[in-house]
Each structure stands twice: as structure tokens, then as C-alpha cells.
Amino acid sequence: MSADIQTARPSRGAYFRIAAVNSFKGVIKAFNSNKTSWVGLGVFAAVCLLAILAPVVAPYDPIDQNILFRLKPPSEAHWFGTDYYGRDTLSRILWGARISLTIGLLAIGSAMLIGTLIGLVAGYFGGRTDIIIMQVMDVLLAFPSLILGLIVVAMLGPSVMNLVIAISLTAIPPFARIARAPTIAVKNREFIEAGHALGYSHSRLMFGHILPNIAPEVLVMGSLWLATAIRVEASLAFIGLGVNPPTPTWGGMIREGFENILDSFWLALFPSLAILIVVFSLNLLGDGLRDAIDPRLKGEQ
Amino acid sequence: MTAFILKRLGFAAITLFAVLTIVFFIVRILPGDPAMAILGDQASEAALKALRVRLGLDVPLYQQYVEFLGGVLVGDWGVSMVSGRPVITEILKVLPATLELTVASLILGAVVGIPIGVWSAVRRNKLPDYVARIGSLLGLSFPAFVSAVLLLMFFSIQLRWFPVISSSQGGGLGEHLRNLALPAINLGLIMAAYITRVARSAMLEVLNQDYVRTAKAKGLAFAVIVWRHCLRNAMIPVVTVVGLYLGILIGNSVLTEIVFNRPGLGKLIVGALNQRDYTMLQGMMVIYTLIVVLVNLITDLTYGLIDPRIKYS
């Protein structure tokens, strides 16, 4: 599921509006232009807070088994019910958020770094370098990412680190594409030409002058890809390639809940809603911000 | 036209070759000895050696590579390490089920997504637009297995409209369609969410064109402008994006097949992963690559059908 909503609208040199997003005021303005971004940010921040505070706010130990309270429906003691081993579903969801967010943030963080670097180099140098690099990226993009992730995790074994590697591998090519387009647009502007005339080095121009101009676009795509990464991690866990049990993961909980779906619907329902809330909030956030920095939509409001 | 097709075919061949090379090396660098994986660590050295010869693992790597590429070309994709049957036979057996599911969901996605996208663009920044935008964003936030589980809970378990577990082969056409319905709805609604968004933004761009204003000025009915003049131009990005979303569709079909227990490539690949069936995995990657390359080729060639202005050069 690599190509995503972000590929729906190929970025076409959004650079001249981006300059305005580089200040704190600009960021607030971008958020205000589409109020749903605030909603997305608020919900996502709340989820992050709950994940960080999981040891404090979770009512029970997430891996503590209680055979006497097996498969209990939601009640006052267990808001989201209990699972096959009598573990508290709410506590497992709260702890599971840590796994999802850690893997998602690490995977997208590294994909963003590597992919942006590749796109920056390809766009800046152009010519044959560009053609070769982007050809390789296109070949990688051609392969369905869930299948690629599946095989990499199956090869390396399911651990947090290996899941991060698998998911970031699938997200590098799109980030290279995202970074390349505005780089090409920015590199032909006067201030870069002036830099050349002053004898600035390539790396100084790339990192000091072009990168800040393309960063907003890359970061906005980052929030959309974080949503994808969380979805892919959950999907892999559902297939059985998630972090090993008893560590709670949302995908793994749905997998277990699915086995008892006929009599204990809450086991699959609540983790499903948790994934949906996080992914939806990130999509709301990224989608609204992208509209704000896309010049083609400027005249619409 | 011929030159364009040849050029695209050449590009498809290069992509195919590159991915096949990657596939070959990925499978080879898998940790562990495939022979030992099959026979277990209690197997005698002689048995292991015999199996390595049978799997063609005893010859140098470059020779394995040449044999692999040659084999792919002539349809000899090796033999499943688990079942002992030819990989290509096993794949072709389940391929129709997966194709049926994906084609049905693509049609559903287009039938639902395009009209909503157009409507949303025409009523821009009005209530229908907001509903369509939020709804489609929600739709593409669903991991395919989550929506599948929820659909199953509601329609099969609560309402009992559809079977909980699709019975495999057998049964008449009605039974067949009943089994296909829920998985296709699951994949189709997610596709519809993606298509709605592309159709909307493509339509918005077209609606701002001068010729639309001219058409309005000369008094053409708005419905005619939208459906006959604009939609055709807006379809180009939609087709591109549907091609791009093939990867998502494939990933989602794997998850859907697992939840609904449908035979198909998805169940086959998960089975191969669990049993460490390397030759089968290799074959699966080859078939997925073939599908992706082929669909990209078709997507490129479709442009000309929609937009006669596009010259294949």
C-alpha cells in the first residue's frame, strides 16, 4: 500500500507558497486555512499522550493473565472487555499504541531522511544521475509494498527493528519522488544561481538553501505516510508478522479477536477503532496541510 | 503508435528484468539452508545433498541465475518445496479467484467513486463536497482487514445476509456471487475512496478551463457540460492513479482474502511464508511483478483511447 493519497496529486513545484510556511506564523496560517488539520493534530496528540502515559493510565498490566475473567464483555471493571487469557483489552490497546507509534515514527523518520537525500541529489544534479536514480526508485515503486514488507519481515524475523527496516524500505522511493520535484523547481531560481556565483559548495547549496525550501512539503507528506506506516504495521501483525506475543499490538489483537469473533465481538472491534482513529487523524492533518501549501488550490477558498 | 508501444514494451522488459534480478538475490540471501528447512535439522548429509541437487542449489550462483531467468521465460518456475507440484500450476489455480475479486472491486470502485467525485467537485465547498471529502478520507484510512472484519461482523454475523466463511469451489452462480459480494464490497469501497478523491481534483481542474466557460455562455445544459465534455478530460488522471493504486489493491486483496478465507494469491503467499516455501515465494514475486508491469503497460496504452489528442511519440 505504498502509493497512497499522496500520489493522487503529484506535487508540481509548490515552492513559492512554501516559503510562507517556514515561519511559526506561516504554520499557524496553514493550519487555519483548513480547520480539519487542527482536529487531526488534536486527536493525534491525544493518542501520543495516552501512549506515553500508558504505564500510568492503563488500568491493568497488559500481559497479566486472569483465567477467571476470560472473554468478559465490556463492563465497569473492564471498559473494553477481556480477551481469551483474561487480559484487559483497554490496557492492551493503550500499550499497543506505543508499538504502533514507535514503529511508524522510526520507519517514516528514516525513510524521510534517506528518501529526501536521494531525491535532493537526483533533482539537484539532474542529467544522468537523475535518470539512473529515479529509474531505480521506479522499479522499487513497481513492487507492491505490503508484499515487499511481508517478505522482508519473514526473512529477518519479526522484531521492532526489522519491522522498522521493512516499512521504511517501502517508503523511501515515494519520499525520493516527493523531494525531487520541488528541488528541480527551486534549483533554477536566482538565489541558487547567486550561490553558485559566490562559489558555494554543492552540499552547502543543497542542505543550506534548497532543503529548507522543500522541507514543508516533505513533512506534510510525512504525516500522510505515517498513517500508511501504522496501517502496514497493523496489517503485518494481522497476518502474523508483527512483534511477537505477548507484546500487545493492534494488528495482533484483531487477529486474536478474529478467532473469537462469533461470541466476543469486542476483541476485534476496539483495536479496529483504535487503528482507524489514529490513521484518520493523521490523514486529516496531512490532507488539510497539503491543501494549504498547494498553490493550485489557492484560489479555491 | 507502433514506436510508442515498442518503447513501452522495452521499458516494461527492463523493469521486469530488474525486479526478477532483485527477487533472485532476495531469495538467495535468505538466512538458512533451504534443504535443511525442508528436511529438518535431523536429516542426513546425504539426503541434504541430494535435495540440493534436485533444487539446483549445487551449481554456482551465476548458473542458478541464468537458469532462473530462462525458467521464468519458458514458464518453468520450479517446484513447490512443500507440495512438490509445479509453482506455476499452483499459482494459475488460484489466480482467477484473485483476478475476479480485484476486477469486481475496481468496477465497484469506479461506479461509486467517479460520480461522487464529480458531484463533489461540482458542488465545491458545499455540504455534499464536505461529506464526500471526509467520507473518502475515512474510507482510505481503513486498513483492508479492519474494514473486512467490521463488514463481516455486521453483514454476516449480525444480519446473516452473507456466509461467514466463503465455501470454496462448487455451488451455482448465485452462491458464487454471494461469496464474492462481501470481499468485493470491502475492496471496492476502499478503491472508491481513492477514486473519489482523484476524480474530484481532476474535475476541479477541468471545470476551471476556458472551454467550460464558453460552453456555459452558449447555453449548453450544465449536465451535458459536466458529463460529456469535462468527464472525459478528467478521466486521464483517474486512469493514471488507478494504475498507481494497483500496489495498494494487491496488498488489500491479500488481507481481504485472509479475512474472508477466499482462495487466491493472498492465501497462497501467506502459506508459502509460513512454510518457508522459497520456490513458491519466488514464483509469487514473479507473478506480482508480471501483473504490475502488465497493468502499467495497459494504463499507458489506455490514455490514447480516452484522449485522442495524445500522440504516442
Residue A255 has pLDDT above 50, yes or no: yes
Answer yes or no: are the C-beta atoms of B247 and A3 closer than 8 Å: yes
Which position has the higher pLDDT, B297 or B264?
A: B264
pLDDT at B171: 65
Q: How confident is the model at residue A113 (pLDDT cuts 50, 70, 90)?
A: very high
Rounding to the nearest 10 degrees, give the CA dihedral for residues B291, B297, B301, B307. Answer: 90
CA distance A166 to A63: 26
- Asked whether A255 and A241 are in contact (CB, 8 A), the reply is no
Of A122 and A301, more confident: A122
pLDDT, chain B, mean: 81
The SS3 of residue A82 is: strand
Confidence bin at B187 (pLDDT 50/70/90):
very high
The answer, yes or no, to whether the previous bond of A246 is cis (omega within 30 of 0) is yes
In chain B, residues with a C-beta closer than 8 Å to the C-beta of A235 are: 143-145, 251, 255
pLDDT at B184: 92
Highest mean pLDDT (candidates A110-124, A189-203, B9-23, B249-263): A110-124
Residue range B132-177, pLDDT digits in tens: 988 998 988 888 888 888 888 888 877 778 776 655 555 677 777 8
Q: How many CB pairs under 8 A join A and B?
A: 147
pLDDT of residue B279: 81
Query: How many angstroms separate the CA of residue A236 from the nearest CA in chain B?
Result: 9
For B124, name the nearest residue in chain A, comparing CA atoms only: A300
Q: Is B43 exposed, middle or buried (CB count within 10 Å of its CB: 0-12, 13-18, 19+)?
A: middle
Q: Any residues with CB less than 8 A from the CB of B124 and at least 6 apart, and which?
A: A300, B204
pLDDT-based confidence at residue A300 (cuts at 50, 70, 90): very low
Whether A235 sits inside 8 A of B258 (CB atoms) is no
What pLDDT is stored for residue A119 in this prediction?
Answer: 92
* pLDDT of res. A17: 45
Look up residue A268 and give its amino acid: A
Please count the other Cβ atoms lying within 10 Å of the Cβ belonging to residue B126: 10
Quote the pLDDT of residue A109: 94
Q: Measure CB to CB from residue B273 to each of A138, A154, A238 and give the nearest one.
A: A154
| Inter-chain CB proximity A275 and B143 less than 8 Å | yes
pLDDT, position A294: 63
Cβ within 8 Å, pair B288-A3: no
Is B150–A272 a contact, with Cβ atoms under 8 angstroms apart? yes
pLDDT of residue A116: 93
Band of the pLDDT at B17, cuts 50, 70, 90? confident
Q: How confident is the model at residue A4 (pLDDT cuts 50, 70, 90)?
A: very low
Asked if A7 and B149 come within 8 Å (Cβ–Cβ), the reply is no
User: Which of A146, A148, A270 would best serve as a mutation to test chain B binding (most B beta carbons within 10 A)?
Assistant: A146
The fraction of chain B above a pLDDT of 70, given in percent, is 89
pTM: 0.83
Residue A129 grid coordinates:
544521475
Q: Note the pLDDT tens digit of each residue in A62-95.
A: 777 777 777 777 777 777 777 777 788 888 888 8
Contact A84, A261 (CB under 8 A): no
Interface probe with A: pick from B16, B98, B129, B137, most Cβ of A within 10 Å: B137
**Is B137–A143 a contact, with Cβ atoms under 8 angstroms apart?**
no
Cβ contact (<8 Å) for B241 and A240? no
In A144-273, where do the E strands start and end? none
Model pLDDT, residue B157: 79
Q: What is the pLDDT of residues B59-110, one digit of tens each?
A: 777 888 888 888 888 878 877 877 878 888 889 999 998 999 999 999 999 9
DSSP result, B260-275:
HT--SHHHHHHHHHHT
Q: Are A144 and B292 a contacting pair at CB < 8 A?
A: yes
A98-298 has CATH 3.40.50.150 classification: no
Which residues in chain B touch residue A296, judged by CB atoms under 8 angstroms apart?
A: 205
Report the distance separating Cα A102 and Cα A125, nearest Å: 34
Q: Would you say B48 and B36 are in contact if contact means Cβ atoms under 8 Å apart?
A: yes
Nearest CA in chain A to B143: A231
| Residue A226 with chain B: CB contacts under 8 Å | none
C-alpha cell at A22: 517556514
Check B273 against A231: CB less than 8 A apart.
no
pLDDT of residue B210: 84
Please tell me which residue of chain B has the smallest CA distance to A273: B146
CB–CB of B48/B39 below 8 Å?
A: yes
